[in-house]
């Protein structure tokens, strides 16, 4: 999970007043901003300006430099059979297929390039964590 | 025996319309075969031995014929890819014979006609086409000869031989026409206005026969073996004389006769027939002028809608338009040997314009009727408010008229011969934009593009489904439809242009990015087509309808990155709201 503060919840697709998805802006613990897609949608509007933990999943991950793709420095790990990109402030679930097709090395620090990042889940932070983030 | 080029569908000389190279051994019953200028309907057999009905224009009848061991190739007409299969009989020694060994099967008269027909078929010097075709061919050849001579060159003897051949056709056709006119005029044949017409025809016949003799006399001169060139600019006297033989304007004289007939015959009872044909002729001239300025001119800036009457009308030669219309009027009123391109195209256009033709003709007729009786046909036609008539016909009628008539129109207007190729080279999007300017419905635009084989046309829009959607009362913008398809649950799903929140515009603005859809499709068209294909042909992996009636179907789609899962989000009536990779 990744700890963030939800900054903005923008409507994505909408038809006949029914909202189909959102685009969510949030702030990471290192103060950098991240734009996430909420496809389900979860609708994080009631978490605005709150510290939360979110599950993030990448549409795809690549090793090769690609212009205009977001990149993060970190390493890939296998945790309980699932694969994640991790660094000090981000945890992103990635697909096993991408690990195989891109021939990506686990447990080695490197720069990786990412496709759209989706919010998979959201949880309120426990009070202790919340106060730590607030500080 | 050379294959003549009077049948456009089977031209083998310099024509783009024929590319017959595929053997056609077993043409099914009712297939059309073309042999010289004759049309045969197959009634049985095959190329080795078969029988059919040959249309003999001078009799206006079909006669039973048979053949053995002929060479048939499949006709290929790129101008009309939707035309049914037809064949061309192309063997050098192929013969078509009257059917039956018992001559009593046919009347004596028919036998005589057939003997003449057989002679024509086997005599390359004879013209075997119709009167109208003879006039057009003569005019064409005359222009070739005169432009060659005018530029200081020498026309071939073969050109003069062809000229004579066509000229014979005109003389024969003119005689037939006179007979028909005499019957038509009946006891009024001696009325001064009718007699003047018959006299003009006689005078034309005399002039053409003199021309024929002049050509024959000068062609029979044996050129000197050495030297020569004693005449002006190195021409022999006989060559100079030959050039003088050519009768200047047979077509003009015949058109003039037709106009005279129209002026005499346009009584109140025949006004509608006359004006109807004239109106259709003017509409066609207008429609094809629009085609010319938009699709065929070098100036690519010409981007007029078909409703842009003032600009298109301005581009037309009015004299030509109204004299052509008066001729059409005459052709509609009086007996005339069949076969002119004008007649064929008018008949085709009336069929294609359908309801539009009725509206157009009725309005033109109403306006014509109230004009002063003292005005000539030409003057009356030029006084009609054509803009109003065209508006009543509707733009769709014009487009279907163009689609149906272009091949015939191209016979007299060589510039239009490459129309199909030029339309294709413009591409689907440009044509669509151009036609949309004319406020044409999506259906008409698609039909137009399909007619000319423009890639991308029609495949994604099924008119039956559009009708079904309308009948179900679903609100959608037909002009903005990108595709419509029925999924495996028989649920109609459709993608519209939409806006920033839903539909194609939303998909492009929010998801056509390097980190999403661009990763999986080479271009937007490919993406739309993939989306259409998967809805139409594949089963979804999962389907979710939530409490807010949001419908999400997950499909596997083949992409540049292999098979990937995508979600298609739709409204409860099938409107595709969004499309995202999972």
Print the domain residue range for B535. Answer: 463-581
Is residue A132 included in any domain, yes or no?
Answer: no
pLDDT category of residue B271 using cuts at 50, 70 and 90 = low
Residue A119: predicted pLDDT: 96
A62–chain B Cβ distance below 8 A for any pair:
no
Which of A14, A39, A66 comes nearest B514 by C-beta? A66
> Are residues B415 and B299 located together in one domain of the fold?
yes
CB contact under 8 A, A60 and B561: yes
> Are residues B112 and B250 located together in one domain of the fold?
no
Q: Which of B416, B286, B291 is nearest to B356 (CA)?
A: B286
How many whole angstroms separate alpha carbon B488 and alpha carbon B144?
Answer: 62
Q: How many domains does chain A have?
A: 1
Least Cα separation, residue A127 to chain B (angstroms): 33
Least Cα separation, residue A134 to chain B (angstroms): 32
In 3-state terms, what secondary structure has residue B346?
helix
CB contact under 8 A, A14 and B502: yes
Average pLDDT of chain B is 76
> Which of these three, B220, B255, B290, is where a domain ends?
B255
How many whole angstroms separate alpha carbon B579 and alpha carbon B582?
Answer: 10
Q: Residue A41, preceding bond cis, omega within 30 degrees?
A: yes
Interval B454-474: pLDDT, tens: 766 666 778 888 888 888 888
Q: How many domains does chain B have?
A: 4
Q: What is the average per-residue pLDDT within B407-419?
A: 77
Is residue B440 included in any domain, yes or no?
Answer: no
Interval B437-446: pLDDT, tens: 777 766 677 7
Q: What is the average per-residue pLDDT within A54-72?
A: 90
Residue at token pair 């059979």: A81
CB-CB neighbours of B331 under 10 Å? 23
Q: What is the average per-residue pLDDT within B292-311?
A: 76
Contact call for residues B570 and B577 (beta carbons, < 8 A) = yes
Is residue B3 included in any domain, yes or no?
Answer: no
Chain A residues inside the 8 Å CB shell of B474: none
Between B252 and A44, residue with greater pLDDT? A44
Distances (CA, A) of A1 to A92, A109, B386: 8, 19, 74
Residue B131: predicted pLDDT: 73
How many whole angstroms separate alpha carbon B329 and alpha carbon B346?
Answer: 11
A35 pairs with which residues across the strands? A25
Q: What is the average per-residue pLDDT within B520-525?
A: 84
Q: Which of B1, B80, B83, B69 is nearest to B38 (CA)?
A: B1
> Are residues B544 and B479 located together in one domain of the fold?
yes
Is residue B439 included in any domain, yes or no?
Answer: no
Residue B78: predicted pLDDT: 57
Question: What DSSP state is assigned to residue B385?
Answer: -
Interval A91-117: pLDDT, tens: 999 999 888 888 888 998 999 999 999
Residue B298: predicted pLDDT: 63
Is residue B191 included in any domain, yes or no?
Answer: yes
> Are residues B471 and B496 located together in one domain of the fold?
yes
Estimate to the nearest angstrom the gap between the alpha carbon of B334 and the chain centroid.
24
How many whole angstroms separate alpha carbon A20 and alpha carbon B299?
Answer: 47
A55–chain B Cβ distance below 8 A for any pair:
no
Residue B77: predicted pLDDT: 61
B577–chain A Cβ distance below 8 A for any pair:
yes
Q: Token pair for residue B26?
A: 């077993």
Least Cα separation, residue A69 to chain B (angstroms): 6
Chain B residues inside the 8 Å CB shell of A120: none
**B8: exposed, middle or buried (Cβ count in 10 Å: 0-12, 13-18, 19+):** buried
Chain B residues inside the 8 Å CB shell of A114: 515
> Are residues B399 and B274 located together in one domain of the fold?
yes
Residue A18: predicted pLDDT: 92
B98 pairs with which residues across the strands? B65
Q: Token pair for residue B581?
A: 């990779």
> Which of these three, B79, B101, B121, is where a domain ends?
B121
In chain B, % of residues over pLDDT 90:
11
Chain B residues inside the 8 Å CB shell of A95: none
How many whole angstroms separate alpha carbon B122 and alpha carbon A114?
Answer: 78
CB contact under 8 A, A59 and B516: yes
Residues contacting A38, CB < 8 A, separation 6+ = A9, A12, A21, A22, A23, A24, A44, A118, A119
CB contact under 8 A, A60 and B519: yes
Q: Token pair for residue B459?
A: 């495949």
Name residues 537-556 of chain B within 8 A of A (Cβ). Answer: 548-550
Residue B111: predicted pLDDT: 46
Is residue B548 included in any domain, yes or no?
Answer: yes
Is residue B442 included in any domain, yes or no?
Answer: no
Is residue B452 included in any domain, yes or no?
Answer: no
Residues contacting A44, CB < 8 A, separation 6+ = A6, A9, A22, A24, A38, A52, A119, A122
> Are residues B77 and B183 located together in one domain of the fold?
no
> Which of these three, B121, B144, B162, is where a domain ends?
B121
Chain A residues inside the 8 Å CB shell of B516: 59, 115-116
Which of A21, A66, A101 comes nearest B578 by C-beta? A21
Interval A70-82: pLDDT, tens: 999 999 999 998 9
> Are residues B473 and B521 located together in one domain of the fold?
yes
Contact call for residues B126 and B72 (beta carbons, < 8 A) = no
Contact call for residues B536 and B487 (beta carbons, < 8 A) = yes
Residue B19 has pLDDT above 70, yes or no: no
Contact call for residues B526 and B487 (beta carbons, < 8 A) = no
> Are residues B160 and B110 located together in one domain of the fold?
no
Q: Which of B163, B381, B437, B351 is nearest to B259 (CA)?
A: B381
Is residue B402 included in any domain, yes or no?
Answer: yes
Ranges of H-type helices in B395-493: 395-412, 419-426, 428-437, 442-451, 463-471
> Are residues B139 and B90 located together in one domain of the fold?
no
**B87: exposed, middle or buried (Cβ count in 10 Å: 0-12, 13-18, 19+):** buried
Q: Token pair for residue B512?
A: 């056509």
Least Cα separation, residue A77 to chain B (angstroms): 22
Find, in chain B, the residue whose alpha carbon is nearest to that of A114.
B515
CB contact under 8 A, A15 and B515: no
> Are residues B344 and B367 located together in one domain of the fold?
yes
Name residues 510-529 of chain B within 8 A of A (Cβ). Answer: 510, 513-516, 519
A115–chain B Cβ distance below 8 A for any pair:
yes
Print the domain residue range for A56. Answer: 2-127
Question: Residues B352, B357, B361, CA angle at the centre, nearest 5°?
Answer: 155
In 3-state terms, what secondary structure has residue B173?
helix
> Are residues B369 and B404 located together in one domain of the fold?
yes
Say which range, A129-133, B138-142, B277-281, B576-580, has the weakest mean pLDDT.
A129-133
Torsion angles phi and psi, residue B491, rounded to 5: -95, 130
Is residue A61 included in any domain, yes or no?
Answer: yes
Chain A residues inside the 8 Å CB shell of B550: 18, 20
pLDDT category of residue A126 using cuts at 50, 70 and 90 = low
Residue A131: predicted pLDDT: 46
Instruction: Count contacts between A and B (CB, < 8 Å).
Output: 61
> Are residues B473 and B420 located together in one domain of the fold?
no
Is residue A135 included in any domain, yes or no?
Answer: no
Residue B504: predicted pLDDT: 93
């Amino acid at each position: 999970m990744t700890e963030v503060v939800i900054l903005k919840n923008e409507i994505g697709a909408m038809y006949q007043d029914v909202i189909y998805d959102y685009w969510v802006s949030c702030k990471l613990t290192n103060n950098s901003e991240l734009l996430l897609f909420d496809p389900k949608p979860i609708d994080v509007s009631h978490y605005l300006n709150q510290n939360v933990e979110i599950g993030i999943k990448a549409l795809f991950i690549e090793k090769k430099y690609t212009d205009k793709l977001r990149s993060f420095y970190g390493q890939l790990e296998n945790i309980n059979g699932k694969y994640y990109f991790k660094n000090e402030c981000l945890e992103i679930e990635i697909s096993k297929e991408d690990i195989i097709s891109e021939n990506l090395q686990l447990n080695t620090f490197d720069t990786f390039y990412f496709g759209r990042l989706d919010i998979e889940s959201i949880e309120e932070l426990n009070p202790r964590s919340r106060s730590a983030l607030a500080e | 025996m050379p294959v003549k080029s009077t049948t456009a569908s089977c031209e083998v000389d310099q024509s783009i319309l024929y590319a017959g190279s595929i053997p056609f051994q077993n043409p099914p019953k009712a297939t059309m075969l073309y042999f010289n200028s004759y049309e045969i309907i197959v009634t049985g057999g095959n190329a080795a031995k078969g029988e059919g009905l040959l249309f003999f224009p001078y009799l206006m009848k079909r006669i039973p014929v048979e053949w053995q061991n002929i060479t048939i190739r499949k006709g290929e007409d790129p101008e009309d890819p939707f035309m049914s299969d037809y064949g061309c009989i192309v063997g050098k020694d192929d013969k078509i014979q009257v059917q039956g060994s018992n001559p009593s099967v046919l009347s004596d008269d028919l036998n005589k006609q057939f003997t003449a027909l057989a002679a024509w078929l086997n005599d390359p010097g004879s013209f075997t086409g119709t009167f109208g075709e003879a006039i057009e061919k003569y005019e064409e050849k005359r222009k070739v000869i005169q432009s060659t001579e005018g530029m200081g060159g020498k026309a071939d003897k073969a050109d003069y031989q062809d000229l004579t051949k066509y000229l014979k056709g005109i003389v024969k056709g003119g005689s037939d026409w006179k007979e028909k006119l005499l019957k038509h005029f009946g006891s009024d044949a001696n009325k001064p206005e009718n007699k003047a017409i018959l006299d003009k025809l006689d005078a034309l016949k005399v002039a053409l026969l003199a021309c024929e003799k002049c050509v024959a006399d000068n062609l029979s001169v044996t050129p000197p073996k050495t030297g020569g060139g004693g005449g002006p600019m190195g021409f022999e006297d006989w060559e100079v004389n030959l050039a003088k033989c050519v009768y200047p304007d047979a077509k003009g004289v015949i058109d003039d006769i037709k106009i005279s007939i129209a002026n005499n015959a346009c009584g109140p009872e025949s006004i509608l027939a006359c004006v109807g044909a004239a109106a259709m002729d003017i509409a066609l001239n207008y429609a094809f002028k629009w085609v010319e300025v938009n699709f065929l001119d070098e100036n690519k800036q010409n981007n007029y809608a078909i409703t842009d009457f003032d600009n298109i009308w301005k581009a037309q030669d009015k004299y030509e338009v109204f004299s052509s219309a008066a001729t059409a009027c005459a052709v509609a009123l009086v007996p005339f040997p069949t076969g002119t391109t004008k007649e064929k195209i008018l008949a085709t256009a009336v069929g294609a314009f359908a309801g539009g033709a009725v509206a157009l003709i009725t309005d033109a007729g109403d306006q014509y009727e109230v004009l002063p009786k003292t005005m000539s046909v030409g003057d009356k036609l030029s006084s009609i408010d054509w803009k109003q008539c065209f508006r009543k016909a509707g733009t769709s009628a014009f487009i279907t008229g163009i689609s149906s008539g272009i091949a015939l129109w191209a016979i007299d207007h060589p510039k239009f011969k490459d129309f199909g190729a030029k339309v294709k080279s413009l591409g689907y999007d440009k044509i669509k934009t151009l036609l949309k300017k004319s406020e044409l419905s999506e259906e008409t635009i698609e039909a137009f593009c399909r007619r000319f084989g423009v890639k991308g046309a029609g495949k994604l829009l099924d008119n039956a489904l559009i009708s079904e959607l309308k009948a179900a009362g679903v609100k959608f913008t037909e002009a903005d439809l990108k595709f419509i398809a029925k999924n495996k649950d028989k649920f109609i799903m459709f993608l519209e242009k939409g806006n920033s929140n839903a539909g194609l515009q939303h998909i492009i603005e929010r998801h056509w990015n390097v980190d999403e859809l661009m990763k999986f499709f080479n271009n937007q068209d490919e993406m739309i087509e993939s989306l259409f294909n998967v809805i139409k042909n594949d089963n979804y992996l999962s389907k979710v309808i939530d409490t807010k009636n949001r419908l999400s179907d997950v499909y596997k789609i083949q992409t540049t990155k292999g098979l990937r899962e995508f979600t298609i989000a739709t409204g409860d009536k099938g409107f595709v709201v969004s499309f995202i990779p999972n």
